[in-house]
A = this chain, B = another copy of it.
Amino acid sequence: MVLKGRPKTFDNYDALEKAQKIFWEKGFEGTSMCELVSGMGISRQSLYNTFGNKHDLFISCLEYYIHESSKKFRDLLTSDTISAKEKLNQIIEMVIDNYTCPESKGCFASFAIQEMAQKDPEVKRLLDGKFERSYKQMHEFFEQSLENGKISSQLSAEELTNLFDSILISVTSLCKLSNRDDQIRSLFGIFLKQIQFS
């Protein structure tokens, strides 16, 4: 394939990341195309040529966010080099850092659940997929760890997954309220109390 004409000068994913942050702060309906043009640092024409209309752009942002945010989580859970205990500790540390730092904006997917899932089938489908995949990854982790005796618990693999998933989702709302950092940390302490490591 031969390239002709002026080459692209901006990076699609850089632009998507900028757009996503704007959507995140102002919401889908609350964000205007003018703000996106300014914020993404590309011209209106380039925006429409590259990303389609406003809704298309939002979907692309959500897809990119889901892809990026799932990466670290999946890599940690499926790593071969660290113990089950260490995996959990690293995930918990990562989450606590993310949701207790002052400039944290929470979770773009959780925001999308509340603003968009009900009225936008495409958003709903993407979110269902994302949360189902991470649920399955967690479940597999707990099931294997219980089976091979790395952990034991009075709770089943399903229950451990349900609880951990619930805590992860709740902190995306808690972090938007005032003075909840201690509660966020406490929740993971409570979760770890459910597990004995060998």
Give the complex CA separation of A25 and B111 in angstroms: 15
Inter-subunit contact B186/A158 (CB<8 Å) = yes
Asked if A114 is at the interface of the complex by the 8 Å CB criterion, the answer is: yes
Residues of B within 8 A of A163 (CB): 187, 190
Please give the count of copies of this chain that the complex contains. 2
Residues of B within 8 A of A127 (CB): 177
Residues of B within 8 A of A169 (CB): 170, 173-174
Asked if A93 is at the interface of the complex by the 8 Å CB criterion, the answer is: no
Decide if the interface of chain A is mainly helix, strand, loop or mixed: helix
Interface string of A15-43 (1 = CB under 8 A from B): 00000000001111110000000000000
Query: Which positions in A face B, CB cutoff 8 Å?
Result: 25-30, 105-106, 110-111, 113-115, 117-119, 124, 127-128, 131-132, 154-155, 158-159, 162-163, 165-167, 169-174, 176-178, 183, 186-187, 189-190, 193
Inter-subunit contact A113/B177 (CB<8 Å) = yes
Inter-subunit contact A176/B25 (CB<8 Å) = no
Residues of B within 8 A of A117 (CB): 176-177
Chain B nearest Cβ from A162, distance in angstroms: 5
Chain B nearest Cβ from A87, distance in angstroms: 21
Chain B nearest Cβ from A156, distance in angstroms: 9
Residues of B within 8 A of A25 (CB): 118-119
Inter-subunit contact A114/B173 (CB<8 Å) = yes
Give the complex CA separation of A110 and B118 in angstroms: 14
A-B contact pairs, 19 of them (CB 8 A): A25-B118, A26-B119, A27-B27, A27-B29, A28-B30, A29-B30, A30-B119, A106-B114, A111-B115, A113-B177, A117-B177, A118-B176, A127-B177, A159-B190, A162-B183, A163-B187, A165-B170, A166-B167, A169-B173
Give the complex CA separation of A80 and B171 in angstroms: 33
Residues of B within 8 A of A110 (CB): 114, 173
